[in-house]
Structure 1
Amino acid sequence: MATTWRVGVDIGGTFTDIVLLGSDGTVHTRKISSSVDDYARAIVDGLAALLAETGIAGHAIAEVRHGTTVASNAILEHKGARTALITTRGFRDVLEIRTLRMPRLYDIAWDKPPPLVERRLRRVVDERIDARGRVERPLDPVAAEAVVRALLDEGIEAIAICLLHAYANPAHETLLAGIVRRLAPDLPLSVSSEVLPEIKEYERTSTTVINAYVMPVVARYLRRLRSGLDRAGVPARLSLMQSNGGLMAAEAAAARPMHIIESGPAGGVIGAQAVARIHGLSDIITFDMGGTTAKAATIESGVVARAAEYSVGAGIMVGSRLLTGAGYLLKVPAIDLAEVGAGGGSLVRVDAAGALKVGPESAGAVPGPVCYDSGGTEPTITDANVILGYLNPCHLVGGAVKLNADKARAVFERRVAAPLGLDLARAAHGAHLIAASNMIRAIRAVSSERGRDPRRFALFAFGGNGPLFACGMAEALGMRRVIVPPSPGLFSSFGLLYAETEHHYARSFRCLTRALDLAALNEAWESLADQALQQLAAEGFRGEAARLERTAALHYHGQSFELAVPAPDGRIDAAGVRALEEAFGAEHERTYGHRAGADEPVELVSIQVVGRGIRRDFTLPERTSTCRREAAIPQRRAYFGPASGWIETPVLRRGDLAQGADGPLIVEEYDATCLVLPGWRARIDEGANIVIDR
């Protein structure tokens, strides 16, 4: 049987990572510079070069899967479409009022980010529907058309429509949308009752506006990418990674780009879930460390933790995850990630009080760490790791990048060690430990702050720098196992290959569980299921290939925030309602450490359906093997803190761990370096993962 291939492509600000996975388990990889002026060009050129190098024919590619930052960059750089908003009279300034949440409690100089729609392009219509969907003041079609025409005269590039309580009755939004489509049929249009029929006015408005703001940008990008792939002789279907970890067809992504805003970090988490499932691991914490930031997420009982909303452009997490309000809010499901400003390029400095600080500022790709010898003048974590002997000055990225260790030592001595009165090794090791402690905050944010004990999880480390810090972080947290997958520096691209198609649907259904209209509830869930099945069928998923999952969001009556729990299959009866209440109570206790008594009323807030499409045309291999071969590397001295000092440390390849080896040791690969501390033992399992046990 001929080998078929999937392609995973992940774009970063500096590099574009391409991974080819064959149905026989063969893996080919390529890391190339991103083409910032047109990200699609680097993908097409890099894939064409890789196919030519390997001799793989373009028609053997079954699917190209892509994680992209195009939409999020458009928001961060304010380079989206010139968008207009039509809303109910009295609600013109919802985007500026927001929810009054402050990300920095004591910073009076903090300013809210500017709205994505300027005030002159926010227009109102005189209408009113109440929270139960009853029309209190009808929408005048003539007046509505005048508003639309006035906006079209402004030369807008997209329109968002969000009227009060449209989630309960979309009639007025439907009328407005019809006017827009009649007057400007090709204008990108985002309607709240279509994209997010849920309660909460700011969240719904913000999400609807973001969707409209990036629609033209994403559509243009996907057209260029599709055209480029066709010219390169790769007619394979194109799928995009969503923020929630599922895939969606390129056509669906162009219509609902709000789902791919944070597609970049999702791939690695989904890949970790797949690897963990194959090898019988149910509870893991993923740790992805690159050059600027580190991210953590949890997978519990095989299920990825997801958040119901998140903020775009909110910056990195520098304090408690409860301090929200920065950035632009998106109320769509997303992998629940915590992020800190700690990476290989994080700057190391001594502050005015004489304390050693690491990050969140980064040297970035340009000029980069001092040891890159590209003009950097500030010491970084990568410089510290070179000084400590953890990184090989001659081996970074397979030897393609030569590091200047002497420059790293000189700047660290002058800027860090001397001001602190420490010898060079102690100062560099201190910086390494502080970076690790910063990243531990991200792991605690998704574990202990969520009521989960990190000690019962394994730490799954990837990214260019993740395997270098994982052992020390696990030791500090009391975790006893670390897993490093093959190609860890390219693992976000690799993870794309294991994702499945997903579509998420939700609607508000607010009612005390004791007063639920079960017929109406079941009808609402069936309506969402029909939407999911229709979308899956349009993408070729029918019968056993189309699967549905249901969840419900509940809270105790009077609470402001809800928790989502799985809902029973089939029609919900009184026993099903009790099961929902019990599941909510258990989740509340796990998250917050307590639950209310049996008499406390529980309120259903919203219901959700997830439709999953399972591909049958590509068999995922249980074992992969890279085609890259690396030469043996001599051992070198490495520093392991004041207690152990400098140790002559073996430097191995992944394949050298077949019989296991005790730390300290260093495992060097093309795209990452793995550090195994004293007191830990490393081996490779049947899937070529490095498993490190305490």
Structure 2
Amino acid sequence: MTKTRVAVDVGGTFTDVCIMDEDTGQIRIEKTPSTPDDPMRAIMTGISDAGIDLADVTMFSHGTTVATNALITRKLPRAAMVCTEGFRDVVEIRRSNKEDLWDTYKDVAKPYIPRRDRLTVKERIDAAGKVIAELDEAEARRVAKILKKRDVKAIAVCFINSYVNGDHEVRMRDILRAEMPDVHISISSQIMPEIFEHERFSTTMVNAVVSPVVVDYVSRLGDKLAEGGYTRDLLLLHTGGGVMTPASVKDFAARLAGSGIAAGALASRFIGNLCGFENSIGFDMGGTSTDVSLCFQGNSTVTKDWYIEYGYPIRFPSIEVLTIGAGGGSLAWKDEGGSLRNGPQSAGAFPGPACYSNGNEVATNSDANVVLGRLGHSLAGGDITLDADLAEKAIRDTVAEPFGMELHAAAEAVIDVANANMANAVRLLSISRGHDPRDFALVAFGGAGALHGAAVAKELSIPVVIVPPNPGVTSAMGCLLVDIQHDFSDSFMADASQTSPEDLEAAFARIEKEAVDRLRHEDVSPENTVLQRTVEMMYQGQWRSLAVSAPATITSTEDLVRGFHDEHEREYNFRREDAPVSIFRVGVKATGVVQKAELPSFEVTPHAPEPASQRDVWFNGKSRRTDVFDRATMKAGAEFSGPAIVEQVDSTVVVPPGATAKIDQYMNILIRVKD
């Protein structure tokens, strides 16, 4: 019996299925058009088309956009919030800032839970955790009855100072469950026990509103897989770069709000490290957007400052990914100043680019690549036929005639604007953070990443572009490279000089017990359990903290403080040895190690590959006769020079003039780009 692992990544245009044979490491792929109204339909279609027997599947991992899309479209069930009296408007007051300080007319979006459904009860705990006023249980029961009449599907319980004492929130949850046993309830002391009330309230609110949507989706998908013979847990990729089981999704649904984009970042890091590059930039360009991630010294950058809509932070740890509206389906348009623009508007999965023949008449990046000869006559192994005449008409009507340009010059202009937008995104994640792109490799993947990767790399003087064996399903492959992972934290606000190792050990013992219990609940054996400690600290008077790794047994707080000074110098380029240091929080990353996918390695024999055909391709205003290679027939060690096109079922690789390419032992294409 063949044992297989299956990973599924749902994108805006395509749903990618990645199937790996456990014995050989051989990977095959299946792409099917996404079904935005119900992503599960595309998943099951892809499984069926790939001929997968779910009874033979030992692991099914899934990166989902369900939570993200629900928040973006606000197709959310009715939810409510229960707050301490006087604090119902914390999520509406926010931080009193705006995404664009200079745009007077652009307001921050309304909270996910409107004011009429944010109710209050009398209770008060002070900042030290002491009860000032007991929870008014009669008032709590009255609120529960009101919410039952309103037929809410989810409730967020957010009491002030519950981060240090969550007893009142727990009691409020019990009262609500007694009245409404089937309602999803999130309490802030469990979701995010941190001092800053807006971030805590916002994260809990987001967790509550997406819970019914996500739990329903996960339950339905799990049932469908079980009907087909799958007997293991469905694993769902979360923003922190690990996977969680349905049991954890019920409590921490908001961790899936950035699920899909994390998979690509993980795969990019893995491929960069595999090729010998500890520093790499992930460049995931799909049909509707481009996701940029950064790996420095072998580790992905992680942030807690992220959101789906500005003003409503989600403070779960997340791999840092910058997303811009630039994809194969991004529309070209003329702005009020008469300049050519590209995106963020997109033709989406349907109708898609004009060349898809589905009725769109506005030029897209894909249409420009067809006109320039960089794309052939079909995509997805022939499932999608590209109409060159419709692509030319769209470029002519949208760009060439309005700007008075020749057809191919107009198509190149569309591509140049798109490349400039994506290069700027890379700059924001690298140069603005103190990293020089010239010290990195660019891992180009996604359906369109390999089309544009070399041009973006040249713009930024990045010397090497890595194109994985299956760039179009690399994000799906990322789901095969992850462990079960959870992040736990607890407030610990104290002067570091007044804190003993025993105090910290006692704090870690509490959350490590919770971490071990969670992994045990998910059937992770003790030998596969790994706990990593961090202590977050700051100079006294600051409010931004930095996390420092802590040993399994803490013997000296001075060592931790010294580590904080080092980390502060690395992050901000200065340190203050004479300044007192405060401890802010202790955290534990709990990992259940899962056997990873391993890419097969091949013997490298340097040789010049034979092109499958030739065609005219436009570069820098000139038509060049260009070799076209079939990647399925290429072997490790193949070396060739640009201009060249490499076609495969899930993507197309462009090697521009002046660049050289080589296939390594893992079948990655390494493109050396010259300035």
Q: Same fold (TM over 0.5)?
A: yes
Instruction: Indicate if the aligned counterparts of 1:551 and 1:567 stay in contact, CA closer than 8 A.
Output: yes
User: 1:347/1:34 Cα in 2 relative to 1: closer, same or farther (>3 Å)?
Assistant: closer
Deviation of 1:613 after TM superposition, in Å, equals 0.9
| Alpha-carbon distance in 2 for matches of 1:364, 1:619 | 32
Distance 2:526 2:392 in 1: 63
For 2:656, which of 658, 674, 677 is the aligned residue? 677
CA contact (8 A) 1:173 1:193 kept: yes
- Classify the secondary structure of the residue corresponding to 2:613: coil
Secondary structure in 2 aligned to 1:383? helix
Aligned twin of 1:29: 29
Contact 2:32-2:45 at 8 Å conserved across structures: no
Q: Which of 331, 334, 341 is the equivalent residue of 1:350?
A: 334
| Alpha-carbon distance change, 40 to 412 in structure 1, aligned in 2, over 3 angstroms | closer
**In structure 1, what is the equivalent of residue 477 of structure 2?**
494
Aligned equivalents of 1:428, 1:37: Cα separation in 2: 33
Structure 1 partner of 2:594: 615
Distance 1:234 1:574, change over 3 A: closer
Shift of residue 134, structure 1, vs aligned partner:
1.7
How much does 1:35 deviate?
3.8
- Name the aligned partner's letter for residue 87 of structure 1: C
Deviation sequence 1:394-413 (CA, Å, 0-9, x none)? 23222222222223223323
Distance (whole Å) between structure 1 residues aligned to residue 334 and residue 49 of structure 2? 46
Q: Where does 1:576-591 land on structure 2 (aligned, <5 Å)?
A: 576-589=559-572
Q: In structure 2, how many angstroms separate the alpha carbons of the residues matched to 1:124 and 1:6?
A: 48
AA matched with 1:102? K
Q: 2:251 — aligned with what? A: 255
Structure 2 distance, partners of 1:333, 1:284, is: 21
State which of 263, 268, 272 in structure 2 corresponds to 1:272: 268
Is 1:365 aligned with 2:349? Answer: yes
1:303-318 correspondence to structure 2 within 5 Å: 303-312=299-308, 314=309
Contact 1:636 1:649 in 2 (8 A): yes
Structure 2 residue aligned with 1:533, among 497, 500, 516?
A: 516
- State the distance in 2 between where 1:295 and 1:305 align: 14
1:574 pairs with one of 543, 552, 557: 557
Aligned AA for 2:640? A
The structural deviation recorded for 1:572 is 4.7
Q: Is the CA contact (8 Å cut-off) linking 1:568 and 1:576 kept in structure 2? A: no
1:156-555 equivalences under 5 Å are 156-312=152-308, 314=309, 326=310, 328-392=312-376, 394-555=377-538
Unmatched tracts of structure 2, length 5 or more: 604-609
* 2-structure distance, mates of 1:549, 1:483: 31
Contact 1:17/1:32 (<8 A) preserved: yes
Matching residue of 2:617: 638
Give secondary structure in 1 for the equivalent of 2:307. strand
Cα distance in 2 for residues equivalent to 1:173 and 1:572: 35
Deviations 1:319-339 (A, max 9, x none): xxxxxxx25321111110111
Partner of 2:16: 17
Q: Secondary structure at the match of 1:606?
A: strand
Secondary structure at 2:76 match in 1: coil
Question: Match of 2:103, SS?
Answer: coil
Residue 621 of structure 1 deviates from its aligned partner by 4.3
> How much does 1:622 deviate?
4.2
Cα–Cα, structure 1 residues 40 and 369, in superposed 2: closer, same or farther, change >3 Å? closer
Deviates further, 5-14 or 94-103: 5-14
- Partners in 2 of 1:409 and 1:33 — Cα distance? 24
**Alignment correspondent of 1:152:** 148
Instruction: Label 1:622 to 1:165 Cα distance change in 2 as closer, same or farther (>3 A).
Output: farther
Give distance in 2, aligned partners of 1:422 and 1:36: 37
In terms of mean alpha carbon deviation, does 79-88 or 89-98 score higher? 79-88
Which deviates the most, 364-373 or 85-94? Answer: 364-373
Residues in 2 aligned to 1:14 and 1:581: alpha-carbon distance in whole angstroms: 44
2:626 to 629, 649, 652: 649
Gaps of 5+ in 1: 315-325, 626-630
Taking the aligned partners of 2:9 and 2:25, their CA distance within structure 1 comes to: 20
Q: Which moved more, 1:28-37 or 1:452-461?
A: 28-37
Distance 1:71 1:351 in 2: 33
Displacement of 1:635 in angstroms is: 1.1
* AA at the equivalent of 2:624: I
Post-superposition shift, 1:460? Answer: 0.4
Deviates more, 1:459-468 or 1:216-225: 216-225
Q: Verify the 8 A CA contact 2:281 2:293 in the aligned structure 1.
A: yes
Kindly indicate whether the alpha-carbon contact (under 8 Å) linking 2:14 and 2:349 is maintained by their aligned counterparts in 1.
no
User: Per-residue deviation at 1:207?
Assistant: 1.0
Cα drift, residue 136 of structure 1: 1.9
Q: Deviations over 1:296-326 (max 9, x none)?
A: 01111211111113111x3xxxxxxxxxxx2
1:213 counterpart SS class = helix
User: Structure 1 residues 678, 557: closer, same or farther in 2, change over 3 A?
Assistant: farther
- On the 8 A contact 1:346/1:380 being kept in 2, the answer is yes
Name the aligned partner's letter for residue 314 of structure 2. Answer: L
Aligned residue type for 2:569: A
Distance 1:289 1:327 in 2: 27
- Structure 1 residue 417: Cα displacement: 2.5
Q: Distance in 2 between matches of 1:135 and 1:624?
A: 66
Letter in 2 for 1:93: D
Equivalent residue letter for 1:651: V
Amino acid at match of 1:10: D
Contact 1:62-1:237 at 8 Å conserved across structures: no
Q: Per-residue CA shift, 1:616-658, capped at 9, x if unaligned? A: 5x76344499xxxxx964211112214xx22111111234363
Deviation at 1:560? 3.7
Structure 1, residues 208-233: CA drift from partner, whole Å, max 9, x if none? 11111122222221221121112212
Question: Within 2, Cα distance between the matches of 1:222 and 1:99?
Answer: 34
Task: Judge conservation of contact 1:26–1:624 (CA < 8 Å) in 2.
Answer: no
2:135 corresponds in structure 1 to: 139
8 A Cα contact 2:561 2:581, kept in partner = no
Distance 1:44 1:385 in 2: 31
Letter in structure 2 aligned against 1:262 = G
Any conservation in 2 of the 1:552–1:564 contact (CA below 8 Å)? yes
1:664 partnered with 2:648: no
Contact 1:271 1:499 in 2 (8 A): no
Structure 1 residues 63 and 435, CA, compared in 2 at 3 Å: closer, same or farther? same
Classify the secondary structure of the residue corresponding to 1:73. helix
Identity of aligned residues (%): 36
Structure 2 CA distance for aligned equivalents of residues 67 and 587 of structure 1: 33
Counterparts of 2:553 and 2:307 in 1: how far apart (Å)? 34
State whether residues 41 and 228 of structure 1, in contact with CA within 8 Å, keep that contact through their aligned partners in structure 2.
Answer: no
1:566 and 1:401 map into 2 onto residues whose CA distance is: 50
State how far apart, in whole Å, the 2-side matches of 1:597 and 1:77 are: 46
Asked if 1 retains the 8 angstrom alpha-carbon contact of 2:290 and 2:323, the reply is yes
Who is 1:317 aligned against? none
Cα separation, 2, equivalents of 1:551 and 1:599: 23
Aligned counterparts of 1:462 and 1:448: Cα–Cα separation in 2: 21
